[in-house]
Each structure stands twice: as C-alpha cells, then as structure tokens.
A and B are shown apart, each in its own frame.
Chain A
Amino acid sequence: MNQFVLQQGCSRELQMFPHIIEFGVKKNISIQLDSLPDTTVDNIRIYYIMDGKFEWNIHERQYILYPGDIAFILPNERFGGTKGFLEIGTLSWIHINAQKPENGKMQFGNWSRLSENETQMIGKILLLNKSVVLERLSEASRIFVSLQSELFNHEIGYHTRVNQLLDELLIIITRRLTRQTNSGRDFSKNFLQLEQKLREDLSHQWTVEEMAATVGMGTTLFNERVKSYSGFSPLNYLINIRISEAIKLLKKPDLNVTDIALDTGFYSSQHFSTTFKKLTGYTPSEFRKKNIS
C-alpha cells in the first residue's frame, strides 16, 4: 500500500462518506518527538499494524503492537504513544464518526446496514470490552486493502462496498472480542464470566443473543449448554440473579421498591411485584416488612 491520508472536508474521496473522518496509510521512517501525544479521541479509531513495533497507551493500559494487530479505540478514551511519539513502522488507520454512546447504546449512523438488533449487540459488546488490542487479526488486512481500492478506484457499486466493508470490519472485531478468551473447552469459566457481566449491568434488557455473544457462542449451542450446565434457560437464570439482587436491596431500608425493580432489570414495579410474588409468595413490600423490623 502506498502512503496517503484522506480527511473529511479536505479529500474528495470521502465526500460520499461523511461518517469516515479520516483514512490513511503511513510508512514512518523517522521518529519525531510529540508526534503521537496522549489525547482523548472523539471518534471510533481503528489502527492496523503492517510493519514495525508500536508501544501505545490505550485507555490507561500499555500495549505493544506487532504486525497484523488491530487497535480499537472508543470515543472519549485516552490514546497515545507510550513515549509520546510514533515509532518507526507502517500502519493504516480509519476514524469513523460515532455518536457518543448513551445509556450503553452505540449508534453508528445511517450508512450501516446492520439491523437494529445487531447494532445494539455489537455496540454492547464493544462497550463492554472498552478499547482493546486484538492480535493477528489477519482478515483486517484484506478489508483495509479493499477499502483503499474502493475509495480510490470508484468502480461501480463502490458506495455500497465501502459501507459493507466498514460493517464487516466491525463484525470481525466483535466476533474476535467474544472469542478471545474462549477455547471451547471450559464452559464453567465462560459461564462465570457471563454471570459477572450480567451482574455488572443488571438493569440492561439482556437478550439471549447478547448473552450468547458475550461468551462468543451461537445461540443454539449457548441455550443447550446453559441449560445442561445450570439447569435453567438463559433467561430464567437471569431472573434468578435479578431476584437475588433485588432481595439484597429490599433488605436495605433506604431504597424504594420502584428503583429496586428498575435497577435489577424488571420493566416496572408491577412486573417486579408479580415475578417476585410468584416465587416467594410475598410482594416485595411484604417481604421487606418481614425482613426489616
């Protein structure tokens, strides 16, 4: 790949793609001080390393990147060279405009052909993992090369192709993220990981697809494994955790029942009350009265 930098507002190649803020390839042959200071990024940034070795700080963690590695950085997070400069080597990058995540939801924009469900799930997984470095993500190389050729050659259908490639890039990054710690051997480990993720964000309206993706599995296998491992369907297991947490909160006198319901992921205090009573025989307020005297 030759060196180039395309920037939104300056480069005609990006006119059709307002969501691509910057796209470039750089072969860095000399070190310049302060060429990569620590900053807070405001877009999604994806770097692909082609040659050399880079030491970066991403979201308060230090990484060393080698050829084939991908760095994925979310808006609002810190990013910069560990020593403040860009090391010698070759890399490609793209900055994609994304609205700041709200309520744990990520919006990519109208260009994306991902369904609403998929966007939510991908956003969720990216946000859960924060910024990351993925080692030897070889599929990324092909996408960066194709992106460049589509943007410069303007062959028929290029508008659709570029956006497809961006979607694909997000998909392969997400898939790798969910599979990273997952060997296909130790389900109990994955299940504990899932349990922790669920507890960290209990108010979220989890779907089975999201839960499965969190541990890098397809939903069919996931359903089957959860059932045989835990005795519960994934959603029933989630209700277990919700009610257990709710019980703990009900035993603290200073929280109101509606807040507890919403904090533990029930749609409403009514939904909470019905579910709770069915299992324990008590309404949440009766239960509270019994336990706080």
Chain B
Amino acid sequence: MECIISIELGTNAVRVYAFDLKGNTIGFANGSYPTFHPNPDYSEQDPEQIFITMLYVLKNFLSEKIHPKKYKILSICFSASMHSVLAIDKNGVPLGNAITWADNRGKKEAQVLRNSPLAEIIYHATGTPIHPMSPLIKIAWLKNQDKERFKQTYKFLSIKGYIIQQLTGAYVIDYSIGSATGLMNIHNKKWDPTALDYAGITVDQLPELVPIFYSPGKLLSQYQISLGLNQETKILVGSSDGCFATLGAGVWDDGKATVTIEDSAAVRVVGQRALQDKNCRLFNYILDEQYYISGGPSNNGGKAFEWFAKQFGDFKNAYDLESCMDDLIAEAVTVDAGSEGLLFLPYLLGERAPIWNANARGVFFGININHERKHFTRATIEGILYEMYSIENLLQEHRDIKRISVNGSFATIPFCTQLIADIFNKPVSVSPNANTVSLGAYLLSATEIGIYQNLDDAAKSIVLPDAFKPNKNNHNVYLKYYAIFENLSRKLFDEFEALSAVADP
C-alpha cells in the first residue's frame, strides 16, 4: 500500500497526517511548541525546538502507525504559517529565534513606510499589505534596530525553509510562502529589487524561489536512517497553510469564497488575476503558476471567543475549555439574532483586514440593564463574524461571491456556520475534512504523482456536503446591526489612537 505524508508547521504545533492515495486519512500525530514574548510586541519561536519536535513526532508516527503496516511512503509534503523570518549565519546556524507572523516589533517601520509613496509600489508588486507581519518590515526592523544580527546574517529564511534545509541541505522558499514575504514580485515570481532595496538586502541573502511542486532533493542519509525511510520518498516543499486551506476547501470557479476561522481568521478567493485594492488592504499570494489566492486576514477569530470563555465561562472541570465553550454557546443559542442590541468589536489583538489598525481594541457597545452573560456570549460571536463579513464585503468589490465554504475549528461549530449563512446571506458548506490544510497538501502530492491533472482538477474532487441555508429574517436584522458595527469601527479610530498614546506610551 502506498501513502502520502503531510507535515504542517503551524503557529503552535506541528501536525503530521498520512493519507492513502484516495485522500482518506490513515493516521495523525501532533506536537506543540511554544511562542515566546520577551517583549509584549515580540512573538518568537525556537527553530531548533520546532525542528526537534517535528522530527520526534514524525519518527514516532512513522514507527508506530506507518512502518508496521508496511506502507510505501511516496512523498512528504510541507506546509507552514506565513510571514516568519529566521536569520542564519554562514554555517547555517540560527542567529536567535525565529520571528513569527504575530510579531509586531516593526510597528513604526510599517507606519513610516505606509505613509511614503513607496508603499503602493511595493504593495502592488509584492501583493503583501504593508504591516509588521510582513518579513519585509521585520528585516527592515533588524536593519535599523538589531544591527549586529543584521550584519552577521548570511541568509533570511522562513521557519519552513530552515526545517527543509536541515533535512535536505537546500536553501529554498516556495512561491506561496515567498509571495507572503513582501519581498517577492508576484507578477514575475522573482525577488523584487525595490522591496529588497528598502529592506537593505541583496538577492543572495534570500533562498531560491521555487514552485510548490518542487523537490529540494533527498533526505540527508542520517535522517533516512533515523526515520526509517529510503531515498525513494520524495520531499515536496509545498505551500503555506493559508493557500492549502483554500485548496483543501475544494472547487473555486463558481464564485465561492472560503472563510477560515481558527485562532486567527481569513476570507479568501481563488483567481487567475491578483486583486488590485486601491487602499492596499487585500493580500495576493501565489498558489501555483496559474492561480492567486487573494483575501484579507483577521487577528481576532476563535482567539477572541476563547478570551471571552476564559474570563466569563464556568469551568466545571479545571482547564476544560472545550466544555466551557460548549455551555456558553448553548446559552447564546437562546438569544435572538442581534443580541438584543449588544454589539462587539472583536479587535482584542489589534486588527488587520480591513481596517489594518494595530491600535484597535475590543469594544462592547449598547449594553443595557437587561443584558446577561448569554447576550455577551452571542454578541462576541456575532462580532467576530461581522468582522469576517466586512472582509467579504471588500472582496465583493472585485469578485461576485455566491457561495461560502468554511473551515477551521471555530467556523465549523454548527451555530457559527449557521450565523455565517445568515449574516452573509449565502449558502455555506462545511469542508468535509477537519484539517483542510493537510488535505490541500494531499491534493498537491496527488497531483504531483499524476492522480489529478492539475490543482484545479484536484480541488474539484472535494465533494462539499449540503449547505446551511441563510435565514432571510435574521439576515435583515444582522444587516442593520452590521451598519452600526462598520460605523463604530471607523468612528473609533481617533479614540483608539488616543487610547494607545495614553495606555502604551
């Protein structure tokens, strides 16, 4: 029997899946690694810990679940979070920790660049919004604030790039992750001279740009031995978690948008042309030679609801967040659409699309004497989804969106899925596979070995179940509240700035 392995280097954990050639999951294993915040704006991870955790999980998984059944492993395909930066010296040794997507240390650099004419030029060339998440800004920060490290840096890698280099010796970055660095020209698929110039680096300080189907070479022999693999197992660089989540969500050519809500969230569409947003609010990442994945990311997905549950939920059992959230949702279901006039702006972690304001904060608005916890619970969920709706509205300016597919642990809670249908006023299907990122990796691997002709074909193989139908009455209620939500998000801008000046001077 033959199988395909996918390795996802996610924000908090590595997830390893094995699929048979029909796309059925054979097995799964995961292992977490921490994010360090030595300073409130910093988010860092230890590249060696990620490497060792990945190796440990993979080794145990193979020796417990795959080798005993004599599976032949055709390929191992990687995916990872976008926007990470790891500086290494000429021996390939990391210079400090990797800086992750959530890191905000480059706030000032981003602000200065955004106010310069260069911003639009770089945005339209690279497809990545000007934001501290972008490696472009992180490297500029290193240039300005950490001169010693900047000077010693031989190359700037991504976390996935480092892991692949450790396993195979090759310095590569795939087009998907590359197109999320703010340094790659998404139109000619080369490093962009203007962006590199701004960051103060040269082409040879970056890894080689390769398509997502690219194989960087064999596993180093020692890892073949320790993992019990031979050199016939092909290594595929793969793509980013965001691109794979969209691919794994299935067909895209009939006006479908994909809403992914995990801790953070995004609304994405697939198309053959990049979207040119005049206010530089949408990203355009490369899937393959043909397709762009465009959309807007939000910081405040399931994380915002988790915050609410931790503060205000009942913990009947210690640390049992899941049943605490279930109980809260059961309460929220009993409240009418609109939470009896209570609104929530979910900007607990600042916000990216569509307002792109790191200083935005969470707001409950319209509290009256009759509101109970259940109203707050429902308002929190509605607020998170209004935010998704605002991104979809922005995408509607470029595409005619007719249907929605959802994935991610928060969006697939049935109550939330129905709310998305009602708020968006569109039929919503839930992705049949719990982990669409890994499913995307499977589709790529299967295409690579010829099971599908191309990714378009592969995506069509995903059969979406019956959709949740929108409730017209609820939609009309939500529309009225959404108008207030949108106004508040805009009107509070000055107050967010003022608060930031007072609270974190």
Contact = CB atoms under 8 A, between A and B. Distances in A.
Contacts, number: 81
Contacts of B53: 240, 244
Interface string B216-230: 000001111111000
Interface residues of B, number: 34
Interface in A244-293: 244-245, 247-248, 251, 277-282, 286, 291-293
A4 to B, nearest CB: 43
Interface stretch (A70-78, A138-146, A179-187): A179-187
Contact of A229 (B29, B32, B94): B32
B193 interface: no
8 contacts: A184-B319, A217-B318, A240-B31, A243-B52, A247-B48, A280-B222, A281-B222, A291-B91
B463 to A, nearest CB: 30
A293 B321 CA distance: 49
A193 to B, nearest CB: 10
A217 B91 CA distance: 43
Contacts of A244: 46, 48-49, 51-53
Task: Label chain A's interface by main secondary structure.
Answer: helix
A117 B84 CA distance: 43
B318 A240 contact: no
Given A195-B34, A292-B91, A280 B49 contact: no
A195 B12 CA distance: 14
A191 B315 CA distance: 18
A192 B91 contact: no
B462 interface: no
Given A240-B52, A286-B222, 6 more contacts: A185-B313, A195-B34, A279-B56, A280-B55, A291-B92, A291-B93
Contact of B56 (A217, A229, A240, A247): A240
A236 interface: yes
Given A221-B318, A248-B48, A231 B57 contact: yes
Nearest to B14: A231
A240 B57 CA distance: 10
Task: Label chain B's interface by main secondary structure.
Answer: helix
Interface in A225-242: 225, 229-232, 236, 239-241
Interface string B29-57: 11110100000000000101101110111
B93 A279 contact: no
Interface string A191-219: 11001000000000000000000000100
Nearest to A280: B226
A241 B48 CA distance: 9
A240 B49 contact: yes
Contacts of A278: 226
Nearest to A221: B318
A247 B94 CA distance: 11
